[in-house]
Amino acid sequence: MDSASTPADGDGEKPPHAVCMPFPAQGHVTPMMKLAKILHSKGFHITFVNTEYNHRRLFRVRGVDALAGLPGFRFATIPDGLPPCDADATQDAAAICQSTMTTCLPHFKSLLAGLNRSPSVPPVTCVVTDEGLTFGVDAAEDLGVPCALLWTASACGSLGYRHYRLFIDKGIVPLKDAEQLTNGFLDTPVGWALGMSKHARIRDFPSFLRTTNRDDVMLNYVLYETDHMADADATIYNTFDELEQPALDALRAALTPAAVYTVGPLNLLAESLVPADGPLDAISSSLWREDDPGLGWLDGRAPRSVVYVNYGSIAVMSSQQLVEFAWGLAGSGHAFLWVVRPDLVTTGGEAAALPPEFLEASWCPQEAVLRHEVVGLFLTHSGWNSTLESLSGGVPMLSWPFFAEQPTNSLYKRVEWGVAMEVGGDVRREAVEGKIREAMGREKGKAMRKRVVEWRESAA
C-alpha cells in the first residue's frame, strides 16, 4: 500500500470507506478517479486501487508525490496476473481482460481484508469497481458490504454488449467465415434489438462480436462480465437520462432489482463538486506525460478555426493510415492540433511517416482543449470520455471508431444526437479533407454545431 496513514475523525465518528478500482486502461481510470474525488468531497474515505503495472506507469509519469495520497485518499495496488513489464503503453486488451477475470479475485479479497484489519483507516463500507472487473461483486459479498459497478462507457454501448447472447442464440455469432467481415454482411439491419437505435446494423454493435471463433477471449469475457453485472447492488452510468433514455430504460429493466444511477457527465459533476485548486488537484490519473505547448499554441487563433485530433489511449493505426489522415488534415486548409501517442502506429513509426511539424503534442489536457473557444471540430476514435467531453465543450465531432463500443457511439452521435459525421475505416486523404471542410463550414456542419450546443446545455 502506497500512502501515509489516515486516522479516523477526531470526534470518533468514522467516515464511510469506499474502495474504488478501475479497469487498468486510461479510459477507465479517468472516470473512476473523478467519481472517487466526488465521493471524497462528500465525506468518503477513499482507497483507490491500481494494478501494479499502472502504478509503475503513474510513478514514472507523475513521481512519488502523485501517489502519496492525502488524508482520506489513499492508493493501493494488486497484481494483474500478467508477466512483469515496464512499457508505457496500454496492455493488450484480450490478455488483461482474461487475466483480471481469472486471477485478481483472491488478491482483491486479500487487500480488502487487510484494509479492515488496519487501525489507521476506517472499515470498508462499500466497493466500487469497474464494470469490467465484476470480481469486485464477489469480493464485496465475501466481506459483507455492498458493491456498485461503474460503467465507464455509454449506456447504448452497455446495451449493445447485453445483446451478444442473442446474437449467438440467433446463429449470427460466431460469424460463418472471415468473408462476412468484408462482403456487406455487417451492414445487416438489427431491428430486433430492444432499446437500440432503429438504424443499428451488425457493424454498429460493439466490435468483439466480429469473430469466427466461439471460444474468442473477448467474446466470452463480455458474456461473463455482462451476466455478472446483475449481481451487483447498483450500476453507475457516466451519462445523463436525456441523452440515452431508451437504452437506460432497457438497462433498468434488465438489471432489476439492482439500482441504476446516471451521474454523468462525470467531468462536469467533478468540476462542480470538487474544489478547484484544492488538495485533490495534486492527484492525477493520467498515465501519459502531458505536453503544455498545445494549449498555448491555441491562444490567439480565430474562434472555431482549429481541428483537434486525438485517437485516445488505445486505438492504433498503420503508418499509411497516419499519412492519409495527415494529408487530409493539411489539405483541409484548417489549422489542427494533433495528439500523437508514442504507440499510436503499429508499423514503422510516426516520426518516420510524417515531417516533424506535424507532431504538435504527445498528450495534452483534453478537457481544457475542447473548452477552448478556437476549437471547432474534434476528430476522434469515439471513446465515451472523449464523446462526453466534446458534448460538454459544445464541439461537433468527426468519428473514426476503432473497437469495442466505439462504433455504437459513432452511430448514436450521427443518427440519434446529430453531432457527428464518420470517416470510413478505409482512410483516404480526400475523404478526410472533404469531411473536415463540410463539418467546419457547410450546412451539415452548422446543423451539427447547433445540436451540440443544445446537448451541452442539457449536459450542464
Confidence at residue 81, expressed as pLDDT on a 0 to 100 scale: 87
Confidence at residue 55, expressed as pLDDT on a 0 to 100 scale: 86
pLDDT for 258-277, tens place per residue? 999 999 999 999 999 988 77
Confidence at residue 290, expressed as pLDDT on a 0 to 100 scale: 63
What are the phi and psi torsion angles at 123 (to 5°)? -60, 145
Of 70-79, 175-184, 204-213, 239-248, least confident by mean pLDDT is 70-79
Selecting among 17, 28, 55, 107, the annotated active-site residue is 28
pLDDT for 53-68, tens place per residue? 888 888 777 666 666 6
* Averaged pLDDT, 327-341: 88
Confidence at residue 348, expressed as pLDDT on a 0 to 100 scale: 52
Task: Please determine, for residue 335, whether its predicted confidence score (pLDDT) is greater than 80.
Answer: yes
pTM, to two decimals: 0.91
Cite the beta strand spans of 317-432 per DSSP E. Answer: 335-338, 375-380, 397-399, 420-422
Decide which of 318 and 299 is more confident: 299
pLDDT for 140-173, tens place per residue? 999 999 999 999 999 999 999 999 999 999 999 9
Confidence at residue 208, expressed as pLDDT on a 0 to 100 scale: 97
- The CATH superfamily of 17-156+218-273 is Glycogen Phosphorylase B; (3.40.50.2000)
CA distance 405 to 389: 17
Selecting among 17, 107, 130, 204, the annotated active-site residue is 130
Of 87-101, 250-264, 280-294, least confident by mean pLDDT is 280-294
Task: Please determine, for residue 398, whether its predicted confidence score (pLDDT) is greater than 60.
Answer: yes
Confidence at residue 427, expressed as pLDDT on a 0 to 100 scale: 87
* Averaged pLDDT, 361-377: 85
Helix axes 443-459, 384-393, angle to 10 degrees: 90
Task: Please determine, for residue 396, whether its predicted confidence score (pLDDT) is greater than 90.
Answer: yes
Active site residue 372: no
Of 197-206, 310-319, 402-411, 422-431, least confident by mean pLDDT is 310-319
**What CATH number labels 292-459?**
3.40.50.2000
Task: Please determine, for residue 7, whether its predicted confidence score (pLDDT) is greater than 50.
Answer: no
By DSSP bridging, strand 420-422 and strand 147-151 are: unpaired
Cα of 88 vs its chain's centroid, Å: 18
Region(s) of the chain under CATH 3.40.50.2000: 17-156+218-273, 292-459
CA distance 106 to 102: 10
Task: Please determine, for residue 2, whether its predicted confidence score (pLDDT) is greater than 60.
Answer: no
CA distance 318 to 322: 6
Of 33-37, 283-287, 350-354, 365-369, least confident by mean pLDDT is 350-354
Cite the beta strand spans of 381-439 per DSSP E. Answer: 397-399, 420-422
Active site residue 130: yes
Identify the helix (H) or strand (E) that includes residue 128.
Answer: strand 126-130
Residue 253: exposure state from Cβ atoms within 10 A (0-12, 13-18, ≥19): exposed
C-alpha cell at 179: 468473408
